Amino acid sequence: MSTKAKILKKAEFNPRLKTYFLVYGIFMFLITIVGIPFVLFWVLIAPVFINKYFDRLECELTTRSLRFKKGFLVQVEKTIPLDKIQDLTFKEGPLLKWLGLSILRIETAGNSGAGVADLSLIGIVDAHVFRQMVFDQRDLVTDNKSVSHSNTDENSIEVLKEIRDIMLRIDQKLNQS
């Protein structure tokens, strides 16, 4: 019987993330040269989509997993079991530092490529605290699994001992005949 996972922490996203998306888009249009004519269009239209995207950002740490939802036109929902998380790293470029933001990259066991993040969370408020909470909860989950495995191992050993004793008694009875 499984119990429902309890939400431990809902991550908040820094409103400066909106500025980051706007400036990042302008930068991308400018460096492509072909996109320069679209900068004005981006500046006028993007804030509407960025605000809707920002309003739909969700990330929560539960007792068993990390859940993330994002998207306006294309919605993505991802759940990562805590026992699969290998590493959480920070990435900060010049624009992110200027805005006081960081990217929290989550890498899991069995991901497709080395150094490839399974999930990147941009702009979490108190990201270092959130990262530590994820690590602490992951350690609790993995410690509980190892304890349950050791209990299972002890039970298996007891059953095997009983089987050995029964086999010895059968062997003795066969030898007496």
> Are 27 and 86 contacting, i.e. CB atoms less than 8 angstroms apart?
no
**CA–CA dist 27, 13 (Å, integer):** 22
User: Using one digit for the tens of pLDDT, what is the confidence trace for 15-41?
Assistant: 999 999 999 999 999 999 898 999 999
CATH 3.30.450.40 fits 7-176, yes or no: no
**CA–CA dist 116, 111 (Å, integer):** 7
User: Using one digit for the tens of pLDDT, what is the confidence trace for 88-129?
Assistant: 998 888 989 999 999 999 988 776 555 556 888 999 999 999
What pLDDT score does 133 carry?
93
Q: What is the mean pLDDT of residues 52-71?
A: 94
**How many CB atoms lie under 10 A from the CB of residue 17?**
20
What pLDDT score does 159 carry?
83
Containing 66, the helix (H) or strand (E) segment is: strand 65-70
Domain boundaries, the chain: 7-176
User: Using one digit for the tens of pLDDT, what is the confidence trace for 66-77?
Assistant: 999 998 889 999
What is the pTM for the complete model shown? 0.71
Positive or negative CA dihedral for 34, 75, 116, 130?
A: positive
Beta-bridge partner residues of 121:
104
